[in-house]
Each structure stands twice: as C-alpha cells, then as structure tokens.
Amino acid sequence: MNSLRNRLSLALSLVLLVAAGLLALGLQDFPRRLVEDYVGSRLQHDADLLYARVLDAPDPDAAAQDAAGTAYQVPLSGHYFVIHRGEQVIRSRSLWDEDLRVELPASVAEMAQRVPGPAGQSLLVFVKRFGGEDGGIVVAVTEDVGGVDAAIARFRKRLLIGVALALLALLALQRRLLVRGLAPLDKAVAACRRIERGELAAPDIDASARTAPSEVRPMLEALSRLARHQAQRLGRIRHAAGNLSHALKTPLAVLSQAADDVSSQGQTATAATIRAQLDSMRATIERELHRARLAGSGAPGESFEARSQLEALAAALQRLHRERHVSIEIDAPECRFPLDREDMLELFGNLLDNACKWARSRVRLSIPSTGEVADVLAFTVDDDGPGAPDEVRDRLGTAGLRTDEQQPGHGLGLAIVGDIVAQYGGTIGYRRSGSLGGLRVDVKLPMPCDAGADRTPADQRTEPARIRSASSSSTCGNSR
C-alpha cells in the first residue's frame, strides 16, 4: 500500500462510500414521513369536521354520515371513520360493519397509528379525543395508504439502485482522475531513469522539467542539476587525470631517452637502473590514473551504444594492427547499455588489443542475447592465437605480467581490465577458446539496476560481420 495512487484512491473511495451510505439512509425514511404528514393533516381536518357536526346534532349518526364525503360511503374504500360518543359508536358506511382495532387515547390527545384494515388494507388512522362533560368524543378517521406504501417501496428500490450506480460511476471516475492526475509523476520517473542512464542531454532535461507540473518540477530540476554536476565532476576528474598523465609522461619520455644516452655512453648498468625505475613509475601512473578515470557502476556518464561504438573500436584496432592482418568479428546487439561509455571502451579496447596482439588471424567478440532478463552484460572475446598455458592463465590480469617480452606493451592492459571489472562488481575468467583455439575471456558485468526493462528483440540482431553500419539503438538491459 505504498503507492500514492492507491492510497489516494482508497481514501477517496471510503469517503464516497460513506457519503453514499448516508444519502441512502437519509432518503429511506423521508418519503414515508412526507406522506404520513400529508395524509395525517387531511385526516385531522376530517376528524375536526366530524366532531363539529356530531357534537350538537340531534341525530349524530345521520349528521356524521352527511358530513363525511362520498368516499366514506363507498364500501371498503379505505376511508373510514369511527366515532365513540359515550356508549354510542358511529361507524362510516364504508366500514360495512367491520371493526377497527384502534387504540383509543385515554385522555384528550391525538395520535396517528397504523393498523391493518379490512380486505388486507393498510390503514393510517388518526385518532383524536375531544374533551367534554360526558366523557368526550373520540374520533378515528382512516385512509388506506397501501398504494402509497407500494409506491414508496418502489421509490426506495430505485433510489438504492441509483445511488449504487452513481457510487460505481464516481469510484471509476475518481480512479481515472487520479491516474490522469498523477501521470506527470510517471513521466517524471521515466525522465529520471533516462537521466540516470545518461540518455537525456541537458536541454532535454530542462524541456521535460518545464512541461512538468509545478509540484514535480523542482524535483526534476534538482535531479537534472545533480546529473549535470555529476557529469561535470566526472569530466573534470578525467580532464585532470589526462593533464596529470600528460604532465608526468612527457618528462618520463625525456628521461627514458636520457637513459638511452647514458647507455650509449657505456654506462649500461646505470641506464638499466634508470629504466627499471622509469618503468615502475610509468606502470603506477598508468594504472592509478586509469583507475581514477573510471566512472564505475554508480553513476554512468554517457551510456554505451554497443554496436556502433564497438565497430568504431574494431576499426581503430584494425588500423593499429594493420601489419598483422587480424580480422575482428563483432557480434553485438544494437542497443544501449546503461554503463559508462569510456569505461566500456577501455574494457573492450584492452581486451581486444590483447587478443589482436596474440591472434594469428581472427578475433571474435560476442555479446550473446541474454533473453528477456538482461540484468548482466555478458560477453566473450576469443582469439586464434597460441592461448596461455594453465600456470600463466591463473596469473593473467596481474599488473606488469608480460608473457612475451617481444610483444610491445607494458603488461598493464589486462590489469586495467581487471580493475574495471572489479569496479563494476563483475567477474572475469580466462580459458581455452573452444571455437578458435586460442584464449577465451569471459566477462560478466551486472547492470546497475533491477529487473524488467525494454530490450532489443533478438530478431534485430544480425549475423556476425566485420563492418556494420551504425544506426539508432534502443536500450539494452534494464533500468531502475
């Protein structure tokens, strides 16, 4: 019950139910009382008339029968009167010698009551005792209200049905209003997700914040500022790392050449010492600066568009390894992962570069379709090189391990790969490649999000090809 929508809906439903109940209850009794008051006042009028006629009449019976209208003479019309005057009882003709079980007031008073009448009639009786020296006169006048009762019952039924229908309609309406009224929240959530995935550029965020309702806008604006701040900070860190790297590496390059000079002057031992120290400094700088540049899974900057960016990377690698004539196959879905672009380029670049260095002619990168639930980016890099012997394979990814001193490089690539994988909380494994015969690297990176999201359907994937055109892509993997 933690949904704002459900909470509001429940509260509104309760209010509506109570209101409808009170309305139904209030309207239950109202028509009956209205009818009884109306009929009662007429009966009282008749009773007063009868009393006036009977009071001093020499023949009270005839006087009473005369005074009352024709309705009191039609048998079983429902309009009856009974007059008690001392011992004398005068009944209306319409009563046809039936008796009425009317409770008579003991003192001067008037009262209305309901009694069953002849022929199953339902009678409303008005009884009034008029005071007098001879014990007074009691007049009871009745009218059949059976028809009215039936009408009232019909009215009540309709009323209940009407109220119930109105209630249902109102409940549906409030739900709809709530859903529509809170729709901007859904939009805001979607916008937040896109900001998080790095899909939304700053102007887009501002645009969606502007169209949002005023309650949501401050939140979106704050989030947009935060995202921008985060991106700026990551950019600053990367820029600073780049500057630092530049500032340190150029002097190192100079020193390294000075070491060459020293070596050419015959002091080879000194030169070797200087070179060893320089190499160690370079390795530290390289590794630590790479680590500082990692965005990590917490706050990805620009998101990673798998196919187009991997193809650009493969083209670059083929250029760098032009002499070796290695073909790079990229089998990647055309979609966007909520992982930092630079981190991923660094990860894939180092793995593919390593594979290209060792491969005889083929390198294959494969990101298999993970089906519906993409809570992980899993891929393999295969090459057809010599592979690594078991004892070396366990140590792959250790900084400074160079299994072949003839190969150019600093033995840092796989260590950096290990750093990136660790930063993202993923796993990495090295084994013999079944398909190409060289080394296979298995990497699994968890997505920084929970389950359920839009994914590119499998049929949008194409067969492995060396060069594919880049195009727009959907989001891969899930999102919060």
Q: Contact residues for other proteins (CB under 8 A)?
A: 242, 245-258, 260, 278, 282, 290, 293, 312-313, 315-316, 319-320, 322-323, 341-342, 345-346, 348-350, 353, 408
Shortest distance, position 353 Cβ to other proteins, whole Å? 8
258 vs 458 by CB, closer to other proteins: 258
Give the C-alpha separation, 420 to 414, whole Å. Answer: 10
Helices within 265-299 (DSSP H only): 268-293
Cβ nearer to other proteins, comparing 82 with 317: 317
C-beta of 79 vs 293, nearer to other proteins: 293
Q: Which is nearer to other proteins, 266 or 408 (CB)?
A: 408
Structural contact between residues 35 and 145, judged by C-beta atoms closer than 8 angstroms: yes
Q: How far is the CB of 171 from other proteins (least distance, A)?
A: 56
Whichever of 137 and 310 has its CB closer to other proteins, that residue is 310
- In the complex with other proteins, the residue whose CB is nearer, 114 or 233, is 233
**Interatomic CA distance for residues 247 and 261, integer angstroms:** 22
**338/96 Cα distance (integer angstroms):** 96
Q: Which amino acid belongs to residue 225?
A: R
Minimum Å gap between C-beta 288 and other proteins is: 14
- 3-class DSSP assignment, residue 319: helix
376-383/362-366 β-pairing? antiparallel
| 88 CB-near residues (< 8 Å, 6+ apart) | 60
Q: Are 381 and 438 in contact (CB under 8 A)?
A: no
Beta strand residue intervals within 341-419, DSSP E: 362-366, 376-383
- CA–CA separation, 345 and 420 (whole Å): 11
Minimum distance between the CB of residue 312 and other proteins, rounded to whole angstroms?
Answer: 5
Which element (helix H / strand E) includes 474?
strand 474-475
Toward other proteins, which CB reaches closer, 101 or 322?
322
Beta bridge partners of 88: 85
CB of residue 410 to other proteins, shortest distance in Å: 9
| Tokens representing residue 110 in the block | 């008037």
Q: What are phi and psi of 11, to 5 degrees?
A: -60, -45
Other beta carbons less than 10 A from residue 451's beta carbon: 10
Residue 232: alpha-carbon gap to chain centroid? 31
Residue length of the chain: 480
CB of 238 to other proteins, least distance (A): 8
Beta carbon nearer to other proteins, 167 or 317: 317
**Minimum separation from the CB atom of position 248 to other proteins (A):** 8
Beta-strand pair 327-331/303-305: unpaired
Minimum distance from residue 464 beta carbon to other proteins (Å): 21
Output the CA torsion 425→426→430→435 (10° steps): -170
The residue (of 101 and 319) whose beta carbon lies closer to other proteins is 319
- Minimum distance of other proteins from residue 474's CB (angstroms): 22
